């Protein structure tokens, strides 16, 4: 039963709404199933860069994207660009394992090349792109920005 009050002028009226036992029981079962599903989700890390594993309850999967049109590409060398990806919001306490993909909003005629993750740390990592060249044989920050290149990333590590 749920009790609610309603004030009308100087009079206070009391309304009683009742729920059947069947609907209360169904709600309770649904709530228990939801809580069990949330509690049974776990992440297991099979190996780490250092070879040291942290406590399993501290295993964390964190992901994000640099965002199309918002990625701060920088020139590295002819045909190469890079950027720093900030993962500090994840709260890693040791270097995570990082996987990346390249998202391109504007399809190029030639979309071949490779990417490299480097300088991984608890706060972020660097991504280098090589070989994703334009018709002139170069890859520039402007070319990547014009085509909305973005990095999607997934980092797995420990937060305690």
Please say if the pLDDT value at position 9 is more than 60: no
Give pLDDT tens digits for 55-107: 888 899 999 999 988 899 999 988 889 999 999 999 999 999 999 988 877 66
Please say if the pLDDT value at position 14 is more than 60: no
Q: Are 138 and 129 in contact (CB under 8 A)?
A: no
Residue 128, φ and ψ in degrees, nearest 5: -110, 140
Percent of the chain with pLDDT over 90: 33
Please say if the pLDDT value at position 10 is more than 80: no
Least confident residue range of 85-89, 125-129, 136-140, 145-149: 136-140
- Nearest to 92, CA basis, from 127, 123, 48, 63: 123
Percent of the chain with pLDDT over 70: 66
Q: Are 154 and 98 in contact (CB under 8 A)?
A: yes
Chain-centroid distance of CA 120 in Å reads: 17
Give CA–CA dist 140/90, Å, rounded: 30
49: confidence class by pLDDT, cuts 50, 70, 90? confident
139: confidence class by pLDDT, cuts 50, 70, 90? confident
- Nearest to 132, CA basis, from 115, 146, 145, 148: 115
Token code pair at residue 70: 């918002």
Q: Write the CA distances from 6 to 11, 17, 69, integer angstroms.
A: 9, 13, 53
Residue 36, φ and ψ in degrees, nearest 5: -65, -45
Q: What is the mean pLDDT of the chain?
A: 77
pTM tops 0.85, yes or no: no
Q: Give start and end residues of each alpha helix (H) in the chain.
A: 21-39, 141-146
Which has more confidence, 49 or 4? 49
| Cβ count near 90 (within 10 Å) | 19
Token code pair at residue 152: 């999607």
């Amino acid at each position: 039963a749920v009790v609610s009050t309603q004030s009308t002028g100087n009079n206070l009226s009391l309304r009683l709404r009742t729920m059947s036992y069947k609907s209360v029981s169904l709600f309770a079962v649904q709530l228990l199933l939801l809580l069990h599903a949330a509690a049974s989700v776990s992440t297991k890390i099979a190996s780490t860069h250092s070879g040291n594993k942290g406590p399993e309850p501290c295993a964390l999967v964190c992901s994000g994207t640099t965002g199309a049109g918002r990625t701060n590409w920088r020139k590295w060398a002819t045909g190469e660009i890079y950027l720093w990806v900030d993962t500090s919001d994840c709260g890693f306490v040791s270097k995570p394992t990082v996987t990346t993909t390249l998202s391109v909003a504007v399809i190029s005629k030639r979309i071949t090349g490779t990417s490299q993750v480097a300088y991984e740390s608890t706060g972020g990592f660097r991504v280098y792109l090589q070989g994703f060249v334009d018709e002139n044989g170069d890859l520039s920050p402007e070319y990547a920005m014009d085509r909305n290149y973005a990095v999607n990333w997934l980092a797995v590590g420990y937060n305690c």
